[in-house]
Each structure stands twice: as structure tokens, then as C-alpha cells.
Structure 1
Amino acid sequence: MTEILTPPTIERLRHELRRRELTVTEVHRLTPHMLRVTLSGPDLADFVSAAPDDHVKLFLATDGGEPEKRDYTPRRFDRAKQALTLDFALHEAGPATEWALQAVPGGRLTVAGPRGSQRISGPIAEWLLIGDETALPAIGRRIEEMAAGTKVTALIAVPGAADEQVFETKAALSCHWLHRPVAAAAEAAPFLAALARLAIAPGTFVWIAAEASVARAVRSYLLEERGHPLPWLKAAGYWRQGQADAHEKIE
């Protein structure tokens, strides 16, 4: 790919960090492996989430001692209703998954953040979004918030057809779903095979989020095999197989 002279910019914003005590107002099984929980409360009056891949921190009560903390993407925020939507990928038996499965209207949850946001802008002709179940909230939010006519291709791995989602968007979306079992979520092969068949136009910004080793493999393939320019790519490991609460920025 020919290098673009003016690369995109990533603007980093900082937000005031505070804890918010919220109440569960709705619980909905979105797909077999995704649970959607809506939270509300007056503490959301000054909530700010300026980018689709922001993260809030959940404080999850334990039987003894300090609460467990987990990062989750704000899937949607309705300021008028003071309602925050979080999607939980049901792919592990961790404390966040356990909390979500037991959540009922009237339940309580402490949430903090986002601490900051990274807004991507510049002369971007197209977007390529690559991720697994854990990245679906960020991918879905970015697609739905895109301006009308924006060209975007999404490459998303989920366990099966029933786990595919429909996005309400005015963007020009081409969505490719990769079906593989949850046990294979740390394998990069399905992504690499799909990418080998996919044309990537000049001026495409690529956003990647998946299991850390998968995200690294996809990033390496695009940079080394496809010659994609480094400034036009952002990758992150949203989780790491075999490790609790592990995420990784991939520079």
C-alpha cells in the first residue's frame, strides 16, 4: 500500500475520574454469548465517553476483601435518560460474567471512568474493524456512531450464526462474520485466512482488538505481509488466554 503523506491523528483526552453508584434497570440476552445490561442513576449526569473504544472500570463485590475490578466498553450512553449500556461477552466464568448472569433490575453496580478517550481523525477513506466477542461492544458502537456514507468493513469472530448482531447505522457497512468455537478464541488462523481474501484500499484505518496473541498476529500480518502503514493501524489485546484481567496495548 502506498504511504499516505498525512496520517491520521489520535487525540488523547483526559476525563475526571470518579466512582458512580448505578442501578440495573434492564437485563437482556442479546445473543447466546452476549448479555446486555442497562444501568441508570443520577451519578451519570456528568458521564463522558468520547470514543467508541473507551473503558469503564467495574467494581465487583467478592466474598472477602477488596472488590474485583474489570474493564468494559460503554456500548451506548443516553444522557437524556441517564442510562449506560454495557455488553458482557459470556466466554469465561470470571467475576464480571458471574455478576452479569445474576444481574436483575434493582441490582447495584459501582462504575468508574472512563479515565480517558482516544479519538481517531484525519483523512481516513475507509475503516477496517477486526475483533472477537470482547471487541463487539466497541465495534458496534463505532459503526453506529459513524457519519452517513462512511465506508467500513468489519471482520468479527463469534461462536456461531446466532451470535451475529445487527447494527443500526448510516455508514456503508460490509460485515464479515467468522464462526469458530469459544475454545478457539485464541487462534489467529480464522482472521488471517479471511484477511488474505480481503482487499484493503489505500487510506484505510485498521482497528484491531481480540485476545492478545491474536491481535499481535493480525497486526504483524498486516504490517509485514500486506505492507499496511503503521500510522494507519491501532491494535490492542482485550484479554489474554489463561490470565484474569489481562489486557495489552500493542505498539
Structure 2
Amino acid sequence: MSIDHATATEAPASTQRRIQRIRHELRRRELQVLRVQRISPHFASITFGGESLADFASAGFDDHVKFMLDGPPGTEPVRRDYTPRRFSTAARELTIEFALHGHGPAAAWAAQAAPGMAATIGGPRGSMVVPTDCDWHLLAGDAAALPAIHRRLEELPAGTRAIVRLQVEAADRRALHSAAALDLQWLDSPEALLQSLQALALPAGEGFAWAGGEATLMARVRDLLLRDKGHPKEAARISAYWRAGAAGFHEDL
């Protein structure tokens, strides 16, 4: 793998210097389901195993692997992006959380997954590594962002501040713990999420803003944070994880 340091000129010097982008060798991994846990009505945590995970690497909390399924005869394989929730190269294990409220082939596969089933995963292709010791971290999004945000909160050290705004159905909300000082709000609708962010005064000091979720909502979050509040683009990442009515959509805004 190779590492590039961010070189944008508009971000604070500390942000420029410390954000890293890592490129990984792209690998296709044939795995097997080891464990399946239903963690809420609409989420399943599935742990995969296999010797091909011996050199698996995921350095960024919002990395994505490609989960691949064969499509119907004569069609292209199905590929969907998922966040590595946790992994252990020593144990040769990788855990991914699947949302089950969709009607696509990946959600259908996850809903009936059982130990022993085969799976194919590729990537991650690269990682954006944001230092954990920023003064503050803003993490926002809808249910699709839950795995990445949960992973990030577990990484953050004491002495930092985590501001979390999540639009998630009540049944799928979970305990989120972090060594960082945690300011968490659960929201019931996209408008409530936007209103909460609008009312938020961004703290002083070096901070990084991250958001993920539905494309139209994330475009509004981007404008609110970067244009209205003036947070530097190079100290933020806003990702459209899905778009209503579209399959297999993912875009950084």
C-alpha cells in the first residue's frame, strides 16, 4: 500500500498535514459466514472468516468493501458497498452490519444468511485516515451511517469531543459509547437532523465534520456545514451512501 498526505491549501495547516490517504492493493476474498447476530429489527451483524483475511487492511472508519453476489443469468454481478465494522487479521475475521429494511439482493441475502454460507468481498481500495486527536469530531447521518459512526466512536480517545447527530428509527437505536466526551442526539426525521445541525454552534479548535446518508439529505447537510457555517471543505467528508429509488448508489459530495 502507499500513503499520500492531503495537499489542499484552504484547510487549516494542521488538517492539511495530518489527514492521510492510503491506497490498498485491491484483493478479491472468498469468505464464509461464521456468525450472524440480529442487533436490531433492521440490522444484522454478520461475521465472515477465511484465510484470505490474513492481510486485510482497513485504516479508515468509513472505508468500504464491495460485497459481491451473482445476479440472475445473463446479468452483471451485484456489488454493494459496506463499511468494515470490525476485523481481526489474527483471527481471520471481518464483521459487516447489513441494513435489512431494503428490498435489494444484498439485503435479501443478509436476511437469510447462516453460518457456512459462502461470500465474496473485495477491497477496500483505499482509506482516508483522519487523526483521532482533533479537538472535536462531528458525526452525522441516517441509519446507513450507523456502522461507520459506531466504529469511529470506539476509536476516539479521551480528551476529544464527539458531537453525534443521527436520524434513526427508535427501534434501531443502540447504545453508543466512546472514551471521547459524547454529545449525542437521536432524531426522528431528515428535517429534524437538519434543524439540529443548523442550531449547532461548531466548537473552536481543530475539528473534522463527517456525514453519511441519503443523497438529497447529504447535499443539504453539505451546504449547511460548508456554505452556511463556513466549515472548511478539506476538514470534512460528506458521503451520499444511497439515493431514494436507486440501487448500488454511492458518492462523495
TM-score, L = length of structure 1: 0.90
* 2:198–2:224 CA contact under 8 A, matched in 1: no
Residue of structure 1 aligned with 2:79, choices 49, 61, 69: 69
**1:232 equivalenced with 2:235 (yes/no):** yes
Find the counterpart in structure 2 of residue 13 from structure 1.
22
| AA partner of residue 25 (structure 1) | L
CA distance in 2, matches of 1:222, 1:56: 28
CA 1:5–1:23: 2 relative to 1, 3 Å = closer
| AA partner of residue 20 (structure 1) | R
Stretches of structure 1 lacking an aligned partner (at least 5 in a row):
181-187
Find the counterpart in structure 1 of residue 55 from structure 2.
46
CA distance in 1, matches of 2:117, 2:133: 44
CA 1:25–1:7: 2 relative to 1, 3 Å = same
| AA partner of residue 224 (structure 2) | Y
Stretches of structure 2 lacking an aligned partner (at least 5 in a row):
1-9
Residue of structure 1 aligned with 2:216, choices 213, 218, 236: 213
Find the counterpart in structure 2 of residue 131 from structure 1.
141
Residue of structure 1 aligned with 2:251, choices 239, 242, 248: 248
CA distance in 2, matches of 1:100, 1:39: 12
* 2:237–2:252 CA contact under 8 A, matched in 1: no
Taking the TM superposition and a 5 Å limit, the aligned residue runs for 1:33-182 are 33-65=42-74, 66-121=76-131, 124-160=134-170, 162-180=171-189
Find the counterpart in structure 2 of residue 183 from structure 1.
none
CA 1:35–1:229: 2 relative to 1, 3 Å = same
Deviations along 1:203-222, one digit per CA (max 9) or x if unpaired, are 32110111111111011012
CA 1:71–1:155: 2 relative to 1, 3 Å = same
Residue of structure 1 aligned with 2:197, choices 195, 198, 206: 195
CA distance in 2, matches of 1:122, 1:44: 25
Report the number of matched residues: 240
* 1:7–1:232 CA contact under 8 A, matched in 2: no
TM-score, L = length of structure 2: 0.89
